[in-house]
Structure 1
Amino acid sequence: MATVLPLNAQLTAFQVFLPVQGKEYEFGLHNVPSPEEAGKVSLRNAKLDCKLELRMLLEGFEHVLQERMKQSLDVATFVEEFKDILDRIVQAQPQVVLPPASFYARIVAEIEAIGWEHVAWISPQLTTLHLCFFDVAGREHIVHVNLPPDYPEKQPLATADLPIAVELRWGPDGTMNAILSQFQLAAERFQDFWANMEDIDKHVWVMEPEHPSRANCFRRIALGGHCSLSITVNPLSPRSIPEYRFFGSDALISPIRKRMDSCMSHWYVMDRLLRINLEDVLELTFPCPQDTDQDDISANCIICYNYRLPHGTGDWVSKEGLVPDRVCDNGSCGRPFHSACLVEWLRAIPTTRQSFDVLFGSCPCCSHPIMVKCTSG
């Protein structure tokens, strides 16, 4: 049964001790209506004061509590409602299975075998570890390891920022040293890949991703004139011809695309960096941030001034949203737009014409004729 203790003589503040599922939770209740108002005014303006553990349990259910407070006309009624809510939340919590004592002894022994210098972080329960190592080029790598309670009988989950995931080989004699060794061996396969990607990141203006990880095989490279080149590199053969796609005004992109398609015989796979091969085939030097005008590079939509629209759909969507996918065909303009922004803009202009699902109008920047497909009339 709950214990409700008054904190003042006016009976407008209480401390409540609530037993739920064999555990006692404590919370304060303030700004309670006075006894004269009891049964007439709800607790809608009362304030809850919960400790951290209880606040975390109630996270996401605050609106339910507020609704119950509005409906409760006295403290006793609300405490019963609170108990009902908390009982349901606690029952829904996943049960934590603690490993046996032998588990902890084994983990400590295995860490000592590989050396504590290889442990970047470890959870208090010893069930999650971040193991670190350096490859031959001096790059630091972190392996995230989650250990099941019945480790090592059950295989752990191990991941790292590698362009190709490691398929962990595991057996009854598996150890953390075996995990570390397999990731070290895998990292050696990608030394040339990382060397080429680091060269690109250092010498050219990379538009995407903003903060590439060592697992990213994709780069979107600025070409100038609001044009860009996206490449997806084969991590096992990083100097070979990548998958590529050009973005920008057709007037500017067409000659560059033709050079790319017709000059593949100039590609020297083994003895040149990927960036050098690309520049040689395209007969240009990629802009770098140090000597390039930001306005010439910017890929932000000229209408909304943002690069990404949340919850987009299409070929070029990431978890952050849709990037500009339409450009002005005027070679001296070439400004980028989100199709959705351009549709809204053109529909607001009286001179815009529509034929079936295509809008015809003028570029918001230079007034050059522009068209965009819309989803509805």
Structure 2
Amino acid sequence: SPTSSQRLQQSADLVTFLLELKTVLEVGLKSRPECSSIPPPQYYSQLIAEMETLGWNKLLFIDTELRTLRLKAEDSSGRQHILTIKLKSKHPAEAPECSADLPLPLATTWTPQSTLQQLHDQFLVVLESLTEFWDVLEEVDGNTWILEPEKPSRSDTMRRIAIGNNVSIKVEVDPRHPKMLPECCLLGAEHGASCLWSAGRNPDSSVLRNLRDVLEIEFPSPATHEKSDFSTECGICYSYRLEAAIPDQVCNDPRCGQPFHQACLYEWLRALPSSRQSFSTVFGECPYCSKPITVKMSAQTS
């Protein structure tokens, strides 16, 4: 560089030049924080030794800086999981950041004497504590039509299950108590939803069986129905999915029963001079049958 050439010409001897060069390099490194945070050599030897103990076959990914690792893990039911670890430059003196696709926050303990093997073992214990939760949801997913989420992840605790006639049920399974009857919310036309509740829960039955008994229905399943039977398009935008949302507002007249996206119906009714609004609820007429219909303003549309 020009600076180095100038220093070389101005230096009385080689030793003076090397001292000058050392000063220039130190200043340059201090001005580049990414360089100053490069781990010492023992970081890399420690990491390699820990991976030798853990087993390289468990390593799915490591970045070019050898800071971010993805380790695979398998629970007792054969499900595959990924533990992402971000190591600090002072590893193992500093605790790494850990994350995984779980329904609960991942809590791990770390001391300067801890290793990746111990971290992986802690992760396996967490996975075992959640196997019942995933068993419950896998039974639901395999025997009902799930409207939302479209592609459930391991961390998703909610399922919106198709019942039929523009009626669905939203269930929220508690990862800490997965066998308890989940929190439920019926969605859709009132004439279809009003008669579905009854009391009773059998602690010896599965969550899905209890839902069937409590609601006194059989859920449509992939064995008996096509998903298109429950994927009715919105009557305003003529699409099924609007970003992540699906039609969840339904005309309550049994002869109509047209579904709408909440956002579409809200904007439609709000634009009509005949509609009226009270707080967060808009009252108007169904665009299809002109019967009374209401929609509550959501947080997204407010």
TM-score of the two chains, using structure 2 as the length reference: 0.80
Letter in 1 for 2:291: H
Matches within 5 A, 1:59-138: 95-96=34-35, 97-138=37-78
* Secondary structure class of the residue paired with 1:111: helix
Counterparts of 1:337 and 1:370 in 2: how far apart (Å)?
A: 11
* Secondary structure class of the residue paired with 2:163: strand
2:217 matched to which residue of 1? 284
Q: Deviations over 1:132-191 (max 9, x none)?
A: 121111111110010011111110011112221221101120110011000001111111
Letter in 1 for 2:236: I
Cα separation, partners in 2 of 1:113 and 1:217, compared to 1, 3 Å: same
1:354 matched to which residue of 2? 275
2:252 matched to which residue of 1? 329
Counterparts of 1:137 and 1:219 in 2: how far apart (Å)?
A: 21
Q: Please say if residues 207 and 221 of structure 1, whose CA atoms lie closer than 8 Å, have aligned partners that are also in contact.
A: yes
Query: How much does 1:344 deviate?
Result: 3.8
2:132 matched to which residue of 1? 192
Q: Please say if residues 226 and 298 of structure 1, whose CA atoms lie closer than 8 Å, have aligned partners that are also in contact.
A: no
Q: Which moved more, 1:338-347 or 1:240-249?
A: 338-347
* Secondary structure class of the residue paired with 1:340: helix
Of structures 1 and 2, the one scoring higher in RCO (CA 8 A, sep 6+) is 2
Counterparts of 1:178 and 1:161 in 2: how far apart (Å)?
A: 19
Query: How much does 1:195 deviate?
Result: 0.8
Matches within 5 A, 1:168-179: 168-179=108-119
Q: Please say if residues 145 and 222 of structure 2, whose CA atoms lie closer than 8 Å, have aligned partners that are also in contact.
A: yes
For the pair 1:345 / 2:268, whether they are aligned, the reply is yes
For the pair 1:237 / 2:177, whether they are aligned, the reply is yes
Letter in 1 for 2:274: R
1:32 matched to which residue of 2? none
* Secondary structure class of the residue paired with 1:240: coil
Q: What do you get for the CA RMSD once the two structures are aligned?
A: 2.9
* Secondary structure class of the residue paired with 2:275: strand
1:56 matched to which residue of 2? none
Query: How much does 1:290 deviate?
Result: 4.2
Cα separation, partners in 2 of 1:281 and 1:154, compared to 1, 3 Å: same
For the pair 1:164 / 2:104, whether they are aligned, the reply is yes
* Secondary structure class of the residue paired with 1:287: coil
* Secondary structure class of the residue paired with 1:370: strand
Q: Deviations over 1:300-334 (max 9, x none)?
A: 42211345545xxxxxxxxx4x5545321112432
Q: Unpaired runs of 5+ in structure 1? A: 2-18, 23-91, 311-319
Query: How much does 1:359 deviate?
Result: 5.4
Counterparts of 2:82 and 2:228 in 1: how far apart (Å)?
A: 37
Cα separation, partners in 2 of 1:290 and 1:332, compared to 1, 3 Å: farther
Cα separation, partners in 2 of 1:295 and 1:333, compared to 1, 3 Å: farther
For the pair 1:268 / 2:268, whether they are aligned, the reply is no
